[in-house]
Structure 1
Amino acid sequence: MQELTPAAQQRVADIAARNGVSEDAVLTLLQAVSNGGGRMAQFSHPELGGMGQWSQGGMTMVGDMFDTGLKVRVDSLCTALAALLREMNPFVPPPPMQSGGWSQGHGGNWWPDGLGSPASSGAQNAMRYAYFPAHAGWRCSRTARSGSTTPRITASSASPSSRAAASR
Protein backbone atom coordinates (compact mmCIF):
# COMPACT_ATOMS: atom_id res chain seq x y z
CA MET A 1 0.00 0.00 0.00
CA GLN A 2 1.18 3.49 -0.79
CA GLU A 3 2.17 5.71 2.12
CA LEU A 4 -0.53 8.12 3.32
CA THR A 5 -0.17 11.81 4.09
CA PRO A 6 -0.53 12.76 7.78
CA ALA A 7 -3.93 14.35 7.07
CA ALA A 8 -5.12 11.18 5.33
CA GLN A 9 -3.83 9.01 8.20
CA GLN A 10 -5.96 11.05 10.59
CA ARG A 11 -9.02 10.76 8.34
CA VAL A 12 -8.53 6.97 8.06
CA ALA A 13 -8.38 6.72 11.87
CA ASP A 14 -11.56 8.83 12.18
CA ILE A 15 -13.43 6.75 9.57
CA ALA A 16 -12.34 3.51 11.26
CA ALA A 17 -13.48 4.71 14.70
CA ARG A 18 -16.79 6.05 13.37
CA ASN A 19 -17.60 2.73 11.65
CA GLY A 20 -16.27 0.36 14.32
CA VAL A 21 -13.62 -1.33 12.16
CA SER A 22 -9.82 -1.49 12.24
CA GLU A 23 -7.63 0.97 10.39
CA ASP A 24 -6.30 -1.99 8.38
CA ALA A 25 -9.80 -2.69 7.05
CA VAL A 26 -10.19 1.00 6.10
CA LEU A 27 -6.77 1.02 4.39
CA THR A 28 -7.74 -2.07 2.39
CA LEU A 29 -10.92 -0.34 1.24
CA LEU A 30 -9.10 2.94 0.55
CA GLN A 31 -6.72 1.18 -1.84
CA ALA A 32 -9.62 -0.68 -3.49
CA VAL A 33 -11.75 2.46 -3.91
CA SER A 34 -8.71 4.35 -5.23
CA ASN A 35 -8.02 1.55 -7.73
CA GLY A 36 -11.67 1.81 -8.81
CA GLY A 37 -11.39 5.53 -9.52
CA GLY A 38 -13.51 6.44 -6.49
CA ARG A 39 -16.60 4.80 -8.00
CA MET A 40 -16.14 1.09 -7.34
CA ALA A 41 -14.05 -1.34 -5.30
CA GLN A 42 -13.09 -4.99 -5.17
CA PHE A 43 -11.62 -5.99 -1.85
CA SER A 44 -10.79 -8.86 0.45
CA HIS A 45 -10.49 -8.42 4.19
CA PRO A 46 -11.64 -10.81 6.93
CA GLU A 47 -13.21 -8.02 8.97
CA LEU A 48 -15.37 -7.08 5.96
CA GLY A 49 -16.64 -10.62 5.37
CA GLY A 50 -13.82 -11.74 3.07
CA MET A 51 -14.13 -10.90 -0.62
CA GLY A 52 -16.58 -8.23 -1.65
CA GLN A 53 -17.47 -5.52 -4.13
CA TRP A 54 -18.90 -2.03 -3.90
CA SER A 55 -20.19 0.30 -6.58
CA GLN A 56 -21.27 3.88 -6.04
CA GLY A 57 -25.00 4.12 -6.40
CA GLY A 58 -26.05 1.15 -4.35
CA MET A 59 -24.44 -2.17 -5.27
CA THR A 60 -22.64 -3.80 -2.34
CA MET A 61 -21.75 -7.48 -2.12
CA VAL A 62 -20.06 -9.18 0.82
CA GLY A 63 -19.14 -12.79 1.53
CA ASP A 64 -22.30 -13.39 3.58
CA MET A 65 -24.98 -12.08 1.27
CA PHE A 66 -27.57 -12.15 4.07
CA ASP A 67 -25.56 -9.89 6.42
CA THR A 68 -27.37 -6.62 5.74
CA GLY A 69 -25.57 -4.83 8.58
CA LEU A 70 -22.18 -5.61 7.03
CA LYS A 71 -23.39 -4.42 3.62
CA VAL A 72 -24.50 -1.12 5.17
CA ARG A 73 -21.15 -0.76 6.99
CA VAL A 74 -19.14 -1.46 3.79
CA ASP A 75 -21.29 0.99 1.83
CA SER A 76 -20.77 3.66 4.50
CA LEU A 77 -17.00 3.07 4.54
CA CYS A 78 -16.65 3.11 0.75
CA THR A 79 -18.84 6.20 0.41
CA ALA A 80 -16.71 8.05 2.99
CA LEU A 81 -13.50 6.95 1.27
CA ALA A 82 -14.79 7.99 -2.16
CA ALA A 83 -15.54 11.43 -0.68
CA LEU A 84 -12.02 11.52 0.81
CA LEU A 85 -10.53 10.74 -2.61
CA ARG A 86 -12.56 13.59 -4.18
CA GLU A 87 -11.33 16.02 -1.51
CA MET A 88 -7.63 15.17 -1.54
CA ASN A 89 -4.94 12.87 -2.79
CA PRO A 90 -4.37 10.81 0.37
CA PHE A 91 -1.16 9.25 -0.90
CA VAL A 92 2.32 10.68 -0.51
CA PRO A 93 3.55 11.46 -4.05
CA PRO A 94 6.36 9.20 -5.25
CA PRO A 95 9.81 10.77 -5.47
CA PRO A 96 10.72 12.20 -8.88
CA MET A 97 12.42 9.77 -11.23
CA GLN A 98 16.14 10.20 -11.65
CA SER A 99 16.65 8.68 -15.11
CA GLY A 100 16.50 11.03 -18.09
CA GLY A 101 13.96 10.76 -20.89
CA TRP A 102 11.20 9.34 -18.69
CA SER A 103 8.62 11.10 -16.64
CA GLN A 104 5.70 10.02 -14.54
CA GLY A 105 2.99 11.28 -12.28
CA HIS A 106 -0.21 13.21 -12.57
CA GLY A 107 -0.37 14.94 -15.94
CA GLY A 108 3.02 13.62 -17.06
CA ASN A 109 3.81 10.82 -19.46
CA TRP A 110 5.41 7.77 -17.90
CA TRP A 111 6.66 6.32 -21.22
CA PRO A 112 9.80 7.36 -23.15
CA ASP A 113 9.53 10.84 -24.66
CA GLY A 114 10.41 9.61 -28.17
CA LEU A 115 7.25 7.52 -28.50
CA GLY A 116 4.97 10.57 -28.59
CA SER A 117 1.26 10.12 -27.87
CA PRO A 118 -0.26 6.64 -27.62
CA ALA A 119 -3.36 5.59 -29.53
CA SER A 120 -4.62 4.06 -26.31
CA SER A 121 -3.54 4.10 -22.69
CA GLY A 122 -5.04 3.25 -19.36
CA ALA A 123 -4.61 1.58 -16.01
CA GLN A 124 -6.13 -1.15 -13.94
CA ASN A 125 -5.16 -1.75 -10.35
CA ALA A 126 -1.37 -1.31 -10.19
CA MET A 127 -0.70 -1.73 -13.94
CA ARG A 128 -0.51 1.06 -16.53
CA TYR A 129 -0.35 0.46 -20.26
CA ALA A 130 0.01 2.40 -23.52
CA TYR A 131 -0.09 1.35 -27.19
CA PHE A 132 1.86 3.13 -29.94
CA PRO A 133 0.81 1.91 -33.43
CA ALA A 134 2.89 4.63 -35.13
CA HIS A 135 5.99 2.90 -33.75
CA ALA A 136 5.29 -0.55 -35.19
CA GLY A 137 2.90 -1.42 -32.40
CA TRP A 138 5.17 -0.74 -29.44
CA ARG A 139 3.54 -1.29 -26.07
CA CYS A 140 4.65 0.06 -22.71
CA SER A 141 3.54 -1.22 -19.36
CA ARG A 142 4.49 -0.44 -15.78
CA THR A 143 3.40 -2.12 -12.61
CA ALA A 144 3.55 -0.37 -9.26
CA ARG A 145 3.64 -3.67 -7.37
CA SER A 146 7.02 -4.70 -8.74
CA GLY A 147 8.56 -1.43 -7.61
CA SER A 148 10.14 -1.03 -11.03
CA THR A 149 10.77 2.54 -12.07
CA THR A 150 11.44 1.61 -15.69
CA PRO A 151 8.53 0.82 -18.01
CA ARG A 152 8.66 -2.50 -19.85
CA ILE A 153 8.54 -1.93 -23.60
CA THR A 154 7.56 -4.71 -26.01
CA ALA A 155 6.75 -4.96 -29.70
CA SER A 156 3.25 -6.12 -30.54
CA SER A 157 3.07 -9.43 -32.37
CA ALA A 158 0.34 -7.90 -34.50
CA SER A 159 2.47 -4.96 -35.61
CA PRO A 160 2.65 -4.16 -39.35
CA SER A 161 6.38 -4.95 -39.47
CA SER A 162 5.92 -8.42 -37.92
CA ARG A 163 3.00 -9.19 -40.27
CA ALA A 164 5.14 -8.18 -43.24
CA ALA A 165 8.03 -10.36 -42.01
CA ALA A 166 5.67 -13.31 -41.52
CA SER A 167 4.30 -13.02 -45.06
CA ARG A 168 7.77 -13.17 -46.70
Structure 2
Amino acid sequence: MQNLTNYGQQLVNNLSAKYNLSYDAVMHMLISVNNGAGSMAQFNCPELGGSGQWMRGGMTMVGDMFNHGLKMTVDNICNDLANGLANQLVFAEIPQGMPGSSIWWPGDLGQPFSSGAQNNLRYAVFPNRLAVELNGQVTVYDTLDNNIGGVSQQQGSDNSLTFSSQYGTLSVNSLPIVSGNASAPTTNFAQPSYTPEPEPQASQAPMMTTSSVDDVIQLIEKLARLKEIGAISEQDYNTKKAELLTRI
Protein backbone atom coordinates (compact mmCIF):
# COMPACT_ATOMS: atom_id res chain seq x y z
CA MET A 1 0.00 0.00 0.00
CA GLN A 2 1.27 3.46 -0.87
CA ASN A 3 2.45 5.46 2.14
CA LEU A 4 0.54 8.52 3.32
CA THR A 5 2.03 11.95 3.86
CA ASN A 6 1.57 13.64 7.24
CA TYR A 7 -1.40 15.50 5.75
CA GLY A 8 -2.84 12.25 4.40
CA GLN A 9 -2.50 10.57 7.77
CA GLN A 10 -4.24 13.49 9.47
CA LEU A 11 -7.01 13.47 6.84
CA VAL A 12 -7.76 9.77 7.40
CA ASN A 13 -7.72 10.13 11.19
CA ASN A 14 -9.99 13.17 11.13
CA LEU A 15 -12.55 11.56 8.81
CA SER A 16 -12.46 8.34 10.82
CA ALA A 17 -13.49 10.32 13.91
CA LYS A 18 -15.95 12.55 12.01
CA TYR A 19 -17.91 9.66 10.49
CA ASN A 20 -17.32 7.11 13.26
CA LEU A 21 -15.64 4.72 10.85
CA SER A 22 -12.57 2.55 11.30
CA TYR A 23 -9.20 3.64 9.96
CA ASP A 24 -9.25 0.78 7.43
CA ALA A 25 -12.70 1.79 6.15
CA VAL A 26 -11.59 5.38 5.49
CA MET A 27 -8.39 4.13 3.84
CA HIS A 28 -10.45 1.87 1.59
CA MET A 29 -12.62 4.80 0.53
CA LEU A 30 -9.57 7.03 0.06
CA ILE A 31 -7.96 4.53 -2.30
CA SER A 32 -11.25 4.10 -4.19
CA VAL A 33 -11.70 7.86 -4.65
CA ASN A 34 -8.06 8.27 -5.63
CA ASN A 35 -8.37 5.50 -8.22
CA GLY A 36 -11.35 7.36 -9.65
CA ALA A 37 -9.30 10.56 -9.99
CA GLY A 38 -11.40 12.28 -7.31
CA SER A 39 -14.58 12.21 -9.38
CA MET A 40 -15.87 8.65 -8.90
CA ALA A 41 -15.35 5.57 -6.74
CA GLN A 42 -16.24 1.90 -6.82
CA PHE A 43 -15.95 0.37 -3.36
CA ASN A 44 -16.78 -2.65 -1.25
CA CYS A 45 -16.74 -1.53 2.38
CA PRO A 46 -18.73 -3.55 4.96
CA GLU A 47 -19.02 -0.49 7.24
CA LEU A 48 -20.71 1.41 4.41
CA GLY A 49 -23.15 -1.26 3.30
CA GLY A 50 -20.85 -3.39 1.15
CA SER A 51 -20.53 -2.76 -2.58
CA GLY A 52 -21.39 0.66 -3.91
CA GLN A 53 -20.54 3.45 -6.32
CA TRP A 54 -20.12 7.19 -5.99
CA MET A 55 -19.92 9.93 -8.58
CA ARG A 56 -19.12 13.51 -7.68
CA GLY A 57 -22.08 15.76 -8.36
CA GLY A 58 -24.06 12.74 -9.52
CA MET A 59 -25.69 9.69 -8.03
CA THR A 60 -24.56 7.56 -5.08
CA MET A 61 -25.42 3.85 -5.00
CA VAL A 62 -25.15 1.70 -1.86
CA GLY A 63 -26.13 -1.87 -1.10
CA ASP A 64 -29.19 -0.73 0.86
CA MET A 65 -30.59 1.53 -1.85
CA PHE A 66 -33.38 2.93 0.37
CA ASN A 67 -31.02 3.92 3.19
CA HIS A 68 -30.79 7.62 2.41
CA GLY A 69 -28.73 8.32 5.53
CA LEU A 70 -26.08 5.86 4.35
CA LYS A 71 -26.12 7.43 0.89
CA MET A 72 -25.53 10.84 2.44
CA THR A 73 -22.66 9.52 4.56
CA VAL A 74 -20.97 7.95 1.52
CA ASP A 75 -21.45 11.10 -0.53
CA ASN A 76 -20.08 13.33 2.24
CA ILE A 77 -17.00 11.23 2.99
CA CYS A 78 -16.19 10.80 -0.71
CA ASN A 79 -16.48 14.55 -1.26
CA ASP A 80 -14.24 15.21 1.76
CA LEU A 81 -11.67 12.74 0.43
CA ALA A 82 -11.84 14.19 -3.08
CA ASN A 83 -11.30 17.70 -1.71
CA GLY A 84 -8.38 16.47 0.35
CA LEU A 85 -6.79 14.83 -2.68
CA ALA A 86 -7.26 18.00 -4.72
CA ASN A 87 -5.88 20.42 -2.14
CA GLN A 88 -2.86 18.65 -0.66
CA LEU A 89 -0.45 15.79 -1.31
CA VAL A 90 -2.11 12.81 0.40
CA PHE A 91 0.10 9.96 -0.81
CA ALA A 92 3.89 10.03 -0.69
CA GLU A 93 5.24 10.45 -4.20
CA ILE A 94 6.60 7.37 -5.95
CA PRO A 95 9.24 7.90 -8.67
CA GLN A 96 7.95 7.63 -12.23
CA GLY A 97 8.02 4.10 -13.58
CA MET A 98 8.10 2.47 -10.16
CA PRO A 99 5.23 0.14 -9.10
CA GLY A 100 2.39 2.18 -7.62
CA SER A 101 3.43 5.44 -9.27
CA SER A 102 0.65 7.55 -10.74
CA ILE A 103 3.02 8.25 -13.64
CA TRP A 104 3.56 4.64 -14.65
CA TRP A 105 4.24 5.06 -18.38
CA PRO A 106 7.72 5.63 -19.93
CA GLY A 107 8.90 9.19 -19.41
CA ASP A 108 9.66 9.85 -23.08
CA LEU A 109 5.95 9.67 -23.91
CA GLY A 110 5.23 12.93 -22.08
CA GLN A 111 1.75 13.66 -20.76
CA PRO A 112 -1.27 11.69 -22.03
CA PHE A 113 -4.32 13.44 -23.44
CA SER A 114 -6.52 10.61 -22.14
CA SER A 115 -6.14 7.96 -19.43
CA GLY A 116 -8.24 5.57 -17.38
CA ALA A 117 -8.26 2.50 -15.16
CA GLN A 118 -10.33 -0.63 -14.66
CA ASN A 119 -9.67 -3.54 -12.28
CA ASN A 120 -5.96 -4.45 -12.72
CA LEU A 121 -5.67 -2.38 -15.93
CA ARG A 122 -4.49 1.18 -16.54
CA TYR A 123 -4.10 2.88 -19.91
CA ALA A 124 -2.85 6.20 -21.24
CA VAL A 125 -3.21 7.56 -24.78
CA PHE A 126 -0.51 9.68 -26.42
CA PRO A 127 0.01 10.92 -29.99
CA ASN A 128 0.50 7.70 -32.00
CA ARG A 129 1.04 5.65 -28.84
CA LEU A 130 -1.06 3.64 -26.38
CA ALA A 131 0.48 2.61 -23.05
CA VAL A 132 -1.22 -0.22 -21.16
CA GLU A 133 -0.33 -1.45 -17.67
CA LEU A 134 -1.82 -4.88 -16.97
CA ASN A 135 -0.97 -6.66 -13.70
CA GLY A 136 1.97 -4.28 -13.22
CA GLN A 137 3.43 -4.89 -16.70
CA VAL A 138 3.65 -1.91 -19.08
CA THR A 139 3.38 -2.34 -22.85
CA VAL A 140 3.52 0.52 -25.37
CA TYR A 141 1.73 0.11 -28.70
CA ASP A 142 1.84 2.02 -31.99
CA THR A 143 -1.73 3.22 -32.56
CA LEU A 144 -1.19 3.63 -36.34
CA ASP A 145 -4.01 5.83 -37.67
CA ASN A 146 -6.51 4.88 -34.95
CA ASN A 147 -8.11 7.62 -32.86
CA ILE A 148 -8.28 5.86 -29.49
CA GLY A 149 -11.47 6.56 -27.58
CA GLY A 150 -11.07 4.18 -24.63
CA VAL A 151 -9.76 0.79 -23.57
CA SER A 152 -11.87 -2.03 -22.08
CA GLN A 153 -11.07 -5.35 -20.46
CA GLN A 154 -13.01 -8.24 -21.95
CA GLN A 155 -14.92 -10.62 -19.72
CA GLY A 156 -13.32 -14.01 -19.26
CA SER A 157 -10.05 -15.46 -18.06
CA ASP A 158 -7.87 -14.29 -20.96
CA ASN A 159 -7.96 -10.61 -19.94
CA SER A 160 -8.06 -9.64 -23.62
CA LEU A 161 -8.19 -5.90 -24.24
CA THR A 162 -10.11 -3.89 -26.81
CA PHE A 163 -10.16 -0.23 -27.78
CA SER A 164 -12.62 1.94 -29.62
CA SER A 165 -11.60 3.97 -32.66
CA GLN A 166 -13.09 5.41 -35.84
CA TYR A 167 -12.95 1.84 -37.21
CA GLY A 168 -15.11 0.40 -34.44
CA THR A 169 -14.01 -1.91 -31.63
CA LEU A 170 -10.58 -3.48 -32.18
CA SER A 171 -8.22 -5.69 -30.21
CA VAL A 172 -5.26 -4.04 -28.51
CA ASN A 173 -3.20 -7.06 -29.57
CA SER A 174 -3.77 -6.06 -33.20
CA LEU A 175 -1.44 -3.09 -32.70
CA PRO A 176 2.35 -3.28 -33.19
CA ILE A 177 4.30 -3.33 -29.92
CA VAL A 178 6.84 -0.54 -29.47
CA SER A 179 8.18 -1.61 -26.09
CA GLY A 180 7.39 -4.03 -23.29
CA ASN A 181 5.85 -7.47 -23.56
CA ALA A 182 2.29 -8.68 -24.08
CA SER A 183 0.89 -12.08 -23.20
CA ALA A 184 -0.94 -12.47 -26.52
CA PRO A 185 0.75 -13.06 -29.94
CA THR A 186 2.28 -9.89 -31.38
CA THR A 187 2.33 -10.75 -35.10
CA ASN A 188 -1.25 -9.80 -35.89
CA PHE A 189 -0.60 -6.15 -36.73
CA ALA A 190 -3.42 -3.88 -37.79
CA GLN A 191 -3.16 -2.26 -41.21
CA PRO A 192 -4.45 1.32 -41.58
CA SER A 193 -6.52 0.37 -44.63
CA TYR A 194 -8.18 -2.59 -42.92
CA THR A 195 -11.55 -2.12 -41.19
CA PRO A 196 -12.43 -5.24 -39.15
CA GLU A 197 -15.91 -6.09 -38.03
CA PRO A 198 -16.66 -4.62 -34.58
CA GLU A 199 -16.87 -7.17 -31.81
CA PRO A 200 -20.29 -7.61 -30.16
CA GLN A 201 -20.75 -4.86 -27.63
CA ALA A 202 -22.47 -7.23 -25.19
CA SER A 203 -19.21 -9.13 -24.64
CA GLN A 204 -17.39 -6.12 -23.28
CA ALA A 205 -17.07 -4.94 -19.72
CA PRO A 206 -17.10 -1.16 -20.25
CA MET A 207 -15.55 1.23 -17.79
CA MET A 208 -17.89 3.07 -15.50
CA THR A 209 -19.07 6.37 -16.97
CA THR A 210 -21.32 9.05 -15.58
CA SER A 211 -24.06 8.49 -18.15
CA SER A 212 -24.21 4.69 -17.88
CA VAL A 213 -24.27 4.64 -14.07
CA ASP A 214 -26.81 7.45 -13.83
CA ASP A 215 -29.11 5.72 -16.31
CA VAL A 216 -29.00 2.43 -14.40
CA ILE A 217 -29.56 4.13 -11.04
CA GLN A 218 -32.53 6.07 -12.37
CA LEU A 219 -34.08 2.90 -13.79
CA ILE A 220 -33.61 1.07 -10.48
CA GLU A 221 -35.23 3.91 -8.54
CA LYS A 222 -38.16 3.92 -10.97
CA LEU A 223 -38.52 0.17 -10.45
CA ALA A 224 -38.51 0.72 -6.70
CA ARG A 225 -41.36 3.21 -6.99
CA LEU A 226 -43.32 0.77 -9.15
CA LYS A 227 -42.84 -1.90 -6.51
CA GLU A 228 -43.95 0.47 -3.73
CA ILE A 229 -47.25 1.22 -5.49
CA GLY A 230 -47.82 -2.46 -6.27
CA ALA A 231 -47.31 -2.19 -10.03
CA ILE A 232 -44.70 -4.96 -9.99
CA SER A 233 -43.98 -7.81 -7.58
CA GLU A 234 -40.98 -8.15 -5.27
CA GLN A 235 -39.68 -10.98 -7.44
CA ASP A 236 -40.00 -8.94 -10.64
CA TYR A 237 -38.22 -6.03 -8.96
CA ASN A 238 -35.28 -8.15 -7.73
CA THR A 239 -34.90 -9.87 -11.11
CA LYS A 240 -34.87 -6.61 -13.06
CA LYS A 241 -32.59 -4.89 -10.55
CA ALA A 242 -30.02 -7.71 -10.84
CA GLU A 243 -30.19 -7.45 -14.62
CA LEU A 244 -29.63 -3.68 -14.56
CA LEU A 245 -26.66 -3.91 -12.20
CA THR A 246 -24.84 -6.17 -14.66
CA ARG A 247 -24.73 -3.23 -17.09
CA ILE A 248 -22.47 -1.20 -14.82
Q: TM-score, normalised by structure 1?
A: 0.70
Aligned equivalent of 2:206: none
Aligned equivalent of 1:110: 105
Aligned equivalent of 1:128: 122
Aligned equivalent of 2:78: 78
| Large movers: runs of 4+ above 2 Å | 95-98, 109-113, 116-121, 125-134, 150-164
Residue type of the partner of 2:105?
W
Task: In structure 2, list runs of 5 or more residues that go unmatched.
Answer: 143-171, 177-187, 195-248
Distance (Å, rounded) in 2 between the aligned partners of 1:6 and 1:119: 29
How far off is 1:6 after superposition? 1.8
Is it true that 1:32 corresponds to 2:46 in the alignment? no
Report the CA distance shift for 1:16/1:163 in structure 2 as closer, same or farther (over 3 A). closer
1:30-73 CA distance string (max 9 Å, x none): 11111111111111111110000111124111101121221111
Distance (Å, rounded) in 1 between the aligned partners of 2:126 and 2:97: 22
Aligned equivalent of 1:63: 63
Q: Which one is further off, 88-97 or 123-132?
A: 123-132
Aligned equivalent of 1:151: 138
Residue type of the partner of 2:54?
W
1:70-106 CA distance string (max 9 Å, x none): 11111111111011011112111114559xxxxx765
- Higher relative contact order at CA 8 Å, sep ≥6: structure 1 or structure 2? 1
Aligned length: 149
Distance (Å, rounded) in 1 between the aligned partners of 2:133 and 2:73: 34
Residue type of the partner of 1:140?
A
| C-alpha contact (below 8 Å) 1:39/1:55 kept by paired residues | yes
Task: In structure 1, list runs of 5 or more residues that go unmatched.
Answer: 99-103
SS at match of 2:189: helix
Distance (Å, rounded) in 2 between the aligned partners of 1:129 and 1:111: 12
| C-alpha contact (below 8 Å) 1:48/1:74 kept by paired residues | yes
| C-alpha contact (below 8 Å) 2:115/2:125 kept by paired residues | no
| C-alpha contact (below 8 Å) 1:54/1:61 kept by paired residues | yes
Report the CA distance shift for 1:151/1:74 in structure 2 as closer, same or farther (over 3 A). same
Distance (Å, rounded) in 1 between the aligned partners of 2:106 and 2:46: 38
Q: How does 1:10-49 map to 2 (within 5 A)?
A: 10-49=10-49
Aligned equivalent of 2:189: 162
Identity %: 40
Report the CA distance shift for 1:122/1:68 in structure 2 as closer, same or farther (over 3 A). same
How far off is 1:154 after superposition? 5.2
How far off is 1:121 after superposition? 4.5
| C-alpha contact (below 8 Å) 2:44/2:51 kept by paired residues | yes
